[in-house]
């Protein structure tokens, strides 16, 4: 149940609508009146909640969510206590006899691979932009590549807000990115590296925007997730193959330095992702979240964006071929690092392989 109006708008919707979506994503039906039996999650409609807070509250009957300042803003109570608990929350009081839910214990987000205090703030006309900035930052992965982490946040927040206000869906942005994937591939293939890099960099930017748009508007879906991550997983090797064709004029892998370089890039990319999958399946979290070094190396490992950082200046200096060889070398070195990471994990007692971010 949503208590109060919650009419202030954030990311193109009211706080009440955002809360309704949060409940829906937690698989909770929103009702206007208390049911005859069972448990009910109550939340003040004028507040912005991190999804994890209400999802956890829904699993903990007889609990109350309290801010760091001690104000009760949501509770999970039996149906018989709805009227009493609602009145208490709307008057800024804490319903009696409930266990407090701490924000500190919910500070680690495994899905985004970071430790950060969850968002819980009253929304007012004066703090909308600040709360949007906070929720956008909260949607960002803590462990990612150097471009996504340090270059894209500010422009991506601006474009994400434009998309939200305009009513664009994350899949619209993902589809635009997909078209740019195809355009970059064709341009690289034809040797038009400059325009291809323009398309590639815009695509990487939109790849940041679509995920953030889905998270801040609470509109992510299983289909959209498969679409987005499927594109991310599949397209990089095709880009590097097209760059090879554009540079050396050969479509197939040839028995020379360039051909061996392409083989290293393609095989290295696939094997690296296999290593990551083995680690994830065995330990239940990303290898990049294991130790501080692993998180650091994710910034620069031979993935799409760091590789583009190599190819772009090489093209600008008139040496796209050298850029290709450098990507091959960096892929080989990155593969060695990932192999060592996996071997070290397998040599460590399983119970000791835990994410440093969750400690």
> What's residue 105's pLDDT?
61
What is the distance between the alpha carbons of residues 223 and 232, in angstroms, rounded to a whole number? 14
Chain segment 237-292, per-residue pLDDT in tens: 999 999 999 999 988 888 899 999 999 999 999 999 999 999 999 999 999 999 99
Q: Which domains does the chain have, with CATH numbers?
A: 2-109 (no CATH), 139-358 (1.20.120.1760)
**pLDDT for the residue numbered 110:** 53
Query: Whole-angstrom Cα distance, residue 163 to residue 161?
Result: 5
pLDDT score at 227 = 85
Residue 185 contacts by C-beta under 8 Å, 6 or more apart in sequence?
196, 235, 238, 239, 242
Element of type H or E holding 107: none
- Say what the pLDDT of residue 102 is: 74
Q: Is 252 helix (H, G, I), strand (E, B) or coil?
A: coil
**Residue 34 confidence (pLDDT):** 87
Per-residue pLDDT reduced to its tens digit, 301-324? 999 999 999 999 999 999 999 999
pLDDT beneath 70, residues of the chain: 104-116, 141, 359
**Predicted pLDDT of residue 107:** 55
């Amino acid at each position: 149940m949503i208590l109060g109006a919650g009419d202030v708008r954030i990311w193109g919707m009211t706080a009440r609508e955002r809360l309704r979506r949060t409940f829906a994503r937690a698989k909770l039906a929103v009702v206007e009146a208390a049911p005859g039996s069972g448990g009910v999650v109550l939340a003040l409609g004028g507040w912005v909640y991190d999804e994890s807070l209400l999802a956890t509250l829904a699993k903990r009957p007889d609990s109350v969510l309290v801010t760091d300042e001690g104000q009760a803003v949501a509770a999970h109570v039996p149906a018989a206590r709805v009227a009493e608990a609602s009145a208490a929350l709307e008057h800024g009081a804490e319903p009696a006899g409930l266990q407090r839910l701490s924000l500190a214990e919910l500070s680690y987000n495994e899905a985004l691979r970071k430790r950060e205090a969850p968002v819980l703030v009253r929304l007012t006309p004066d703090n909308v932009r600040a709360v949007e900035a906070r929720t956008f930052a909260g949607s960002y992965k803590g462990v990612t590549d150097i471009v996504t982490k340090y270059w894209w946040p500010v422009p991506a927040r601006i474009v994400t807000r434009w998309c939200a206000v305009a009513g664009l869906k994350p899949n619209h942005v993902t589809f635009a990115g997909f078209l740019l994937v195809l355009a970059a591939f064709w341009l690289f293939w034809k040797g038009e590296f400059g325009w291809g890099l323009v398309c590639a960099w815009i695509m990487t930017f939109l790849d940041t925007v679509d995920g953030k748009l889905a998270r801040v508007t609470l509109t992510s879906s299983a289909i959209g997730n498969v679409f987005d991550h499927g594109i991310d997983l599949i397209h990089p090797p095709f880009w590097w193959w097209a760059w090879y064709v554009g540079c050396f004029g050969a479509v197939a892998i040839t028995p020379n330095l360039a051909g061996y370089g392409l083989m290293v890039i393609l095989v290295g990319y696939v094997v690296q992702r296999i290593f990551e999958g083995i680690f994830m399946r065995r330990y239940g979290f990303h290898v990049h979240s294991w130790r501080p070094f692993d998180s650091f190396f994710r910034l620069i490992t031979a993935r799409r964006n760091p590789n583009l950082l190599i190819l772009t200046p090489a093209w600008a200096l008139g040496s796209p071929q050298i850029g290709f060889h450098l990507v091959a070398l960096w892929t080989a070195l990155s593969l060695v690092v990932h192999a060592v990471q996996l071997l070290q994990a397998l040599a460590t007692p399983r119970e000791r392989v835990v994410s440093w971010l969750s400690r």
